[in-house]
Chains A and B, each alone.
Chain A
Amino acid sequence: MDFPILLTILLAPIAAALILVFVPKEENLTIRSVAAAGTFVSLALSLYAYFTYDQSVGGLQFAMQIPWIQDLGVTFFLAADGISLPMLLLTNLIGFSAVFASWNINSRPREFFILLLLLIAGVMGTFIAHDLFIFLLFYEVVVIPIYIMVVIWGSSKRVTKEYAGMKLTIYLLIGSAFLLVGVIALFVKTSAMSGVPDMSFTGMAVVARQLSGFDQIWLFGLMLLGFGSLISMWPFHSWSPDGYAGAPTAVSMIHAGVLKKIGGYGLVKIAVFMLPAGAAFWAPYMAVLGVAGVAYAAMGALAQKDLKYVVGYSSVSHMGYVILAVACLNVIGLNGAVANMFAHGVMAALFFSMIGFIYEKTHTRWIPDMGGLARQTPRLAVGFMMAAMASLGLPGLISFIPEFTIFIGAFDVYGGLAVVGIAGIIITALYVLRAGANTLFGPPRPEYNHLKDIRGPEMVPLIVLGTVLVVGGLLPSLLFDMINSGVVPLHAAISDALQLGGKF
């Protein structure tokens, strides 16, 4: 067998967490270095995997398969394709940056980094698992560390951190309860149909696509509820702004950056892939909900004065585009959906890390109290503005092409709805620019003159994520060729069923 690269990527943070258990809790620098080393190994290996993936061959690569539970047909199946690799890379980019964004955590750092590493490993697991059961094992691992991190290291401003943490957790768990019902029913129905239980994505999908239209519709509906509440689909989004506001910086980064994307990834790689007829039925509703989310959350962001709430609502709004794109069910739309998840992940993580530093230094997130931080902390301002510009889709930064792609795909299918969605960009520009102007470019306030700009380890998130923002914007083919190599075969597998659905 070849070098198990995916397994190593997955286990590196877990190994680092195990080492941390035995590090004395006063050794602050050692603790941070171990955490950074663990995430660095994963990041380096996933970069290696990303660039050695053979796009001309496509399909699942770096696969490893171990029979796991025989009577459920479960195999421990790790593999990556053109859709999962960008998400894996994204996770590690953000995970690595999150360690440095949390460099200044001084209360109980050992526990913090152990939980953070477990969280990162859990998120990665969902993107490389190619078996529905293994996917589920990772899917909820992440919820509990997040809860504990929010209640210990979170902040209580508009809502208490206890409220934020519990709301986040219960919302996502109830959503996943529906998902679980769907998965169990799907498993029972497919294994009754084929006689041989098989929970690997491909094996299950072959059988699942033959299910009756009615079965596909209600099963897809359950999955849409589960994945939809994770990707903060309107009207199941309300955990998102509150949760991000209460969470510590690293959790906001990972949550908004990648965890949410598990919802979109699950929709594409599980729900649409396995139940295309169900997808065809629900697509128009998804499109409406997506656009409603874009418009509603953008308006919501307009009214916020707390920086984290602005970005929280903005991320709900951006996820609306992803849902609209998935609902197109064509190659262009799916490409745009995955690319936009990547782009938004980088941008949101950069945003939250900069806000985290601002809060750490000024002890406020209240926009009117900021004044003109650009004078006092110029590097911080650079990072903030890069994220802001990416958020409104400035050409040359990473999110322009994905959004453009989504609009092309959506206009084709939904016409008028897409126009409403595109109009959301104007509102986005409005709230992002206003937040930037009032935070960075107003009259400088004397009480912030003593602030130290970000430096040393604090620069890492800006450098890592900022580089990706620019490179992804200038060389979009790096991202799109990869995604396309995953989306095309996926779409080919479901296109027959989509035409049979006869919806379009």
Chain B
Amino acid sequence: MTPFDFSIPINPSALTLEMLVAALGLGILILGIISPKGARSGLGWVSFLGLMGIIGVAITMWGQSGELLAGMYLLDNYALFWKITFMVAAALVILGNMRYVDKVGNQAEYYSLTIFATLGMMVMASAGDLMTLYLGLELMTIAFVILVCLRKTDNKSVEAGMKYILLAGMSSAVLLYGLSLLYGLTGSVIMLDISRIIAMQPVSPALVLALVMIIAGLGFKISAVPFHMWSPDVYEGAPTPVTSFLSMGSKAASFAIILRLFITALPGVWENWAMVIAILAGITIIIGNLVAMPQTNIKRLLAYSSIAQAGYIMVGMVTASEAGIKGVMFYAFLYVFATAGAFTVAAYFYNVTGSDELKDYAGLSQRSPLMAAVMLVALLSMAGIPPLAGFVGKFYLFKTIVDGYLWLVFIGLIMSMVSVYYYLRVALVMYRDEPKDPSPINVSGPVTVTLILTMLVTLIIGIYPGPLSEVVNSAAHSFFLH
């Protein structure tokens, strides 16, 4: 282990994306202070266009690779793909919910915190050591805590914020304790060094303890059973756009870091843990889907369904192979679009009717065919019904575990068909029932764009997944090049 050699010149252009996003976040904050109140709704457009610009820059950086500060910060297609995914998620959330945010107020805070949360996720995706990992994780979490209680006058929102900060704090503590044990055992925080040193040691009880704590701490973030208790309450109480971002961005970032931590830092140990992860994935899929069935609130239903979705993504972690990583990334990407579609409908519906209850969705297909169709497509994609993207995603995930974990394939696919039961209940209400209030819902321009975009992407990835699959292959391949 070598102490950091700060004489290594850092190439600042390697951090272009992070710096741009930080600048955008700060810029929004300043603009919010200096612009008059009536003009603040324009901040959404500034953030959206800013993010789109940065995504453009990110795409030009495809193929970059390298390490900064002796492995503290890793640059590869793997990290870049995740960063693009996070920014796309943030951009979709911002574009689809401008009116919702105008209603809540505090536009500057909302947009800049969303961008800072994105920055945290991007740092996580590139983290090459335990400190950077924790830095990114906390940046994201703290931004989310504030976002969750953004509706300051709503008791539910504040309650959700309190729950989230307490439980997130606890899980961070557990995680940090696990990380410190790891540091104690190896004397290094750099993941690449840790893997070398661990390989030379026998597996000690302290290492097992460290792993248990790390799994618990990160399992909280992806809301894997049995660390999922917080998510339905927080999802229900938080403002819907925040819920949406929480369930796709925060989860995806945690998966990015889990793969990095376990496969880069602890490759030899992993074999002993694959079965644990497989069992956790199985339980998460079963519990998430079963508990989703009786839900009557659309946000709680989506919360439990997102627990189940996390279970599916965990399937890709079991083999710790390139194919598995590919499956995780592919699924996370399409999950962003499905979630954004479903939650944008929910948020807009709340905006118009003030309700999140499933029964109030009655006759939505007649009030707004577009909203009903997008909701249906998003839910069915999560269920993995072809020809939607979720089917291909599940195909990629489950094909990695056919040898050795066939039982998990059965659980996963049968439960995903069972999940159709509650997804179709939503369809039933939207399509069969006559609306109580038959007035059509006029969907505003940016929301229409978001909805059509999410639906088209979900369909196109489902029918023609070839190009995305190539991109993800290259990203997964770069993972092992360090």
Give the interface of A toward B (CB within 8 A).
67-72, 108, 111, 133, 136-141, 143-144, 147-148, 151-152, 162, 166, 169-170, 173-174, 176-178, 180-181, 184-185, 187-189
Interface residues of chain A: helix, strand, loop or mixed (majority): helix
- A140's partner among B366, B386, B399, B406 (CB-CB below 8 A) is B386
- B387's partner among A137, A152, A173, A188 (CB-CB below 8 A) is A137
Which residues from chain A contact B421 at a C-beta distance below 8 Å?
166, 170
Which residues from chain A contact B449 at a C-beta distance below 8 Å?
none
- B427's partner among A136, A147, A173 (CB-CB below 8 A) is A147
Chain A proximity of B375: nearest CB distance (Å): 13
Q: Are B417 and A170 in contact (CB under 8 A)?
A: yes
Q: Are A136 and B465 in contact (CB under 8 A)?
A: no
Q: Are A162 and B428 in contact (CB under 8 A)?
A: yes
Q: Are A152 and B386 in contact (CB under 8 A)?
A: no
Q: Report how far A133 CA is from B385 CA in the complex, Å.
A: 13
Q: Report how far A178 CA is from B414 CA in the complex, Å.
A: 7
The answer to the question of B335 belonging to the interface, with a C-beta cut-off of 8 Å to chain A, is no
- A188's partner among B376, B392, B402 (CB-CB below 8 A) is B402
Q: Are A173 and B432 in contact (CB under 8 A)?
A: no
Closest to B385 in A: A140
Q: Are B409 and A184 in contact (CB under 8 A)?
A: yes
Given contacts A151-B432, A177-B410, A177-B413, 6 further A-B contacts (CB under 8 A): A67-B466, A69-B466, A133-B395, A173-B417, A185-B402, A188-B403
The answer to the question of B244 belonging to the interface, with a C-beta cut-off of 8 Å to chain A, is no
Q: Report how far A220 CA is from B373 CA in the complex, Å.
A: 37
Which residues from chain B contact A67 at a C-beta distance below 8 Å?
466
Which residues from chain B contact A173 at a C-beta distance below 8 Å?
417, 420
- B470's partner among A70, A170, A188 (CB-CB below 8 A) is A70
Chain B proximity of A37: nearest CB distance (Å): 23
For this complex, 24 residue pairs linking A to B, each with C-beta atoms less than 8 Å apart, are: A69-B465, A71-B473, A108-B366, A111-B365, A137-B387, A137-B391, A138-B386, A140-B385, A144-B424, A152-B432, A166-B424, A169-B424, A170-B420, A174-B418, A177-B413, A177-B414, A177-B416, A177-B417, A181-B409, A184-B395, A184-B398, A185-B406, A185-B409, A189-B402
Q: Report how far A181 CA is from B405 CA in the complex, Å.
A: 12
The answer to the question of B350 belonging to the interface, with a C-beta cut-off of 8 Å to chain A, is no
Q: Report how far A167 CA is from B427 CA in the complex, Å.
A: 15
Which residues from chain A contact B380 at a C-beta distance below 8 Å?
144
Give the interface of B toward A (CB within 8 A).
365-366, 376, 380, 385-387, 391-392, 395, 398-399, 402-403, 406, 409-410, 413-414, 416-418, 420-421, 424, 427-428, 431-432, 462-466, 469-470, 473
Q: Are A148 and B431 in contact (CB under 8 A)?
A: yes
Which residues from chain B contact A162 at a C-beta distance below 8 Å?
428, 432
Which residues from chain A contact B431 at a C-beta distance below 8 Å?
148, 151-152
Which residues from chain A contact B473 at a C-beta distance below 8 Å?
71
Q: Are A151 and B409 in contact (CB under 8 A)?
A: no
Q: Report how far A166 CA is from B423 CA in the complex, Å.
A: 11
The 10 closest A-B pairs by CB, nearest first: A173-B417, A137-B387, A177-B413, A188-B402, A137-B386, A177-B417, A151-B432, A177-B414, A69-B466, A185-B402
Q: Report how far A426 CA is from B470 CA in the complex, Å.
A: 59
Q: Report how far A189 CA is from B420 CA in the complex, Å.
A: 29
With A71-B469, A139-B386 as contacts: A147 and B403 at CB distance below 8 Å: no
Q: Report how far A185 CA is from B401 CA in the complex, Å.
A: 9
Q: Are B399 and A188 in contact (CB under 8 A)?
A: yes
Closest to B366 in A: A108
Which residues from chain A contact B427 at a C-beta distance below 8 Å?
144, 147-148
Q: Report how far A173 CA is from B391 CA in the complex, Å.
A: 13
Which residues from chain B contact A70 at a C-beta distance below 8 Å?
466, 469-470
Q: Are A176 and B469 in contact (CB under 8 A)?
A: no
Which residues from chain A contact B392 at a C-beta distance below 8 Å?
69
Q: Report how far A144 CA is from B463 CA in the complex, Å.
A: 17
